[in-house]
Structure 1
Amino acid sequence: MTTDKLQVFKFGDGVWDPSHRFVTSWLVSPWALFAIRASISLYAFFVLLFAIFWEIAQLPNGGAIARFSFSYFTILCYWGISFYFFFAALHTFTYARSGTPLLSRFPRPLQALHALYYSTIICYPILVTIVFWGVIFRVSVPVGWFPTTFDAWSNISEHGLNSLFALFEICIPRTPSPPWFHLLWLIVILACYLGLAYVTVATKHQYVYSFLNPKVAQHGIVAAYVFGIAVGICLIFAVVKGAVSLRVWATETRGGRRGKFAKVGELQIADVEMQRFEGKA
């Protein structure tokens, strides 16, 4: 096996993110970046928890419905968004306060996993938005719009604002372009979810998504949906990777905006940044 192939299973080498790209922005200060990330995390957690309590209180058999929601890829992704922005805010706060983010003190495997976590946050929400509004919405809401204000708010939050949050992470921080081998792990995670969806069928006797039911969509259609989603995440990853690279070029190479750093250790960080070193996972 070649070194390039082994790179997929490595946690990287060299200095981890020496210019603190994951906790700084080219546009806003570290404290402002912390506040925005913390606000997104709080809102996402509020959406998830309010939806659970609403379903339990308002719907017949609401407890079972709330438990079943954890089988939806949308909900799992939204939990991922909530926790990502929580930890991103925590790392940004520690950097703004001391000049050294908590992330820099983590073991290398956790640092690499944080970089992969970032890749999921900027790709999966876009996939969720496209699949929901392009495939699921017209089937699950045949009347053209959601019947209640709660349904409209929760679905817009989970299937619309999720991509807005992803767009924020693509455009505003100084994060580097994700490496190509992250795409393999994005596909692996999707394959694991596909297994979870059919485990749910075996245990709950209910399909999470109708297009995964061969009795409804036929075997060929199910395979086409699965293949289409795999192709979709590949295209999304390529576009997002290009967008991040374009942002780095436009703001730093072309625009000369090297970033807004914490006052503590600012000179040392600037010296590292002059070397054009890109942290790798």
Structure 2
Amino acid sequence: MSKIYPLLGVPSPFDPTSRFATSWLLPPFLLASLRLLLSLYAFATISTIFAWDDSHRLAITSRQSFSYFTNLTYWGLAFYFLFAALHTFSYARTGKAWLGGWPRPLQAAHAVFYTTVVTFPFLVTLVFWAVLYRHPFPVVEEWWSNISQHALNSLFALFEILLPRTSPPPPLHIVCLVILLACYLALAYITHATEGFYPYSFLDPSKGSGRVIGYCFGILIASCIIFGIVWGVIWLRNLATQRLGLEGKFAVQRRKVDGLDVREEDVEMVEMQEESK
């Protein structure tokens, strides 16, 4: 089992220069604060949608919400940014990210979680506006909720692609994405068996099994293409920042190295240079 961890983006030691908790542009406290703000916005959006549905006697809509890929990925964004903020705050305060002390399975889960956050929102946005959107929404609340979940979600993902110092996700993460998509497909058909409806009409086999297969393979191919584009953008971001000398904004901590009192950020710069060799 230990041999698969490096393939999942969990080497030993894990994230030695705190790439998940640092930015090439923003100091750690600011990065943590912005991540927390995005998390709060996502949770506020979810809570407001639930409250609006309840006030308009649409409680069944809230109960069925977990059958939709859009909602599941939006919950994922909310929780990812919450934990990413906590990891970054811990790094800013102590010079060591909370994530670094986690068991390796949880570190692997966080690495895969990051990949879903920078991949699935673009898939949701693409499918919604290209396939599902048919006509303007009748009320402002629906406009706001759909813009938040089907447009701002991709901006949140873009934030995580462009600003942190994360490395490109390992190729094995494609397998993880495919497994998650397959699990959602199973959930959609379980929903029909238990609740009597398909979350998305293009999954209804009564409209043609070939149509369903075509949509499923189209979404799978789109996911792989999005993963490849995201990988390339992150790689280019790292290359550009290194060429421009924007190695990163580190927490300023002091510790003893060879008997000398040095700043933590200086130590991390040396470690990062050794890591790149």
Against the structure 1 CA distance between its residues 132 and 110, is the aligned structure 2 distance closer, same or farther, given a 3 Å change threshold?
A: same
Q: Which residue of the partner structure matches residue 63 of structure 2?
A: 67
Against the structure 1 CA distance between its residues 86 and 18, is the aligned structure 2 distance closer, same or farther, given a 3 Å change threshold?
A: same
**Deviation for aligned residue 1:13:** 3.6
Superposed counterparts of 1:127-166, under 5 Å:
127-138=123-134, 144-166=135-157
Which structure 1 residue ranges, 5 or more long, are not aligned? 139-143
How far apart, in 1, do the equivalents of 2:206 and 2:232 lie?
A: 39
Q: Contact 1:176–1:244 (CA<8 Å) still a contact in 2?
A: yes
Q: Which residue of the partner structure matches residue 14 of structure 2?
A: 16
Matched residue pairs, number?
266
Q: Contact 2:10–2:107 (CA<8 Å) still a contact in 1?
A: no
How far apart, in 2, do the equivalents of 1:37 and 1:48 lie?
A: 17
Q: Which residue of the partner structure matches residue 193 of structure 2?
A: 202
Matched, 1:239 2:237: no
Which structure 2 residue ranges, 5 or more long, are not aligned? 254-263
Q: Which residue of the partner structure matches residue 36 of structure 1?
A: 34
Q: Contact 2:88–2:97 (CA<8 Å) still a contact in 1?
A: yes
**Deviation for aligned residue 1:6:** 5.4
**Given the two structures, how large is their TM-score scaled by the length of structure 1?**
0.91
**Given the two structures, how large is their TM-score scaled by the length of structure 2?**
0.92
Q: Which residue of the partner structure matches residue 93 of structure 1?
A: 89
How far apart, in 2, do the equivalents of 1:39 and 1:33 lie?
A: 10
Task: Select which of 186, 195, 198 maps to 2:177.
Answer: 186
Q: Which residue of the partner structure matches residue 141 of structure 1?
A: none
What letter is aligned with 1:92? T
Q: Contact 1:11–1:108 (CA<8 Å) still a contact in 2?
A: no
SS at match of 2:66: helix
How far apart, in 2, do the equivalents of 1:187 and 1:22 lie?
A: 23
Against the structure 1 CA distance between its residues 11 and 256, is the aligned structure 2 distance closer, same or farther, given a 3 Å change threshold?
A: closer
Identity of aligned residues (%): 48
How far apart, in 2, do the equivalents of 1:10 and 1:21 lie?
A: 15
Task: Select which of 225, 229, 233 maps to 2:215.
Answer: 225
Against the structure 1 CA distance between its residues 9 and 247, is the aligned structure 2 distance closer, same or farther, given a 3 Å change threshold?
A: closer
Q: Contact 1:251–1:257 (CA<8 Å) still a contact in 2?
A: yes
How far apart, in 2, do the equivalents of 1:263 and 1:12 lie?
A: 25
What letter is aligned with 1:238? G
How far apart, in 2, do the equivalents of 1:12 and 1:277 lie?
A: 16
Q: Which has the higher contact order (CA 8 A, sep 6+)?
A: 1
SS at match of 1:276: helix
Aligned-residue Cα RMSD (Å) equals 1.7
**Deviation for aligned residue 1:276:** 3.4
Q: Contact 2:161–2:233 (CA<8 Å) still a contact in 1?
A: yes
How far apart, in 2, do the equivalents of 1:56 and 1:211 lie?
A: 28
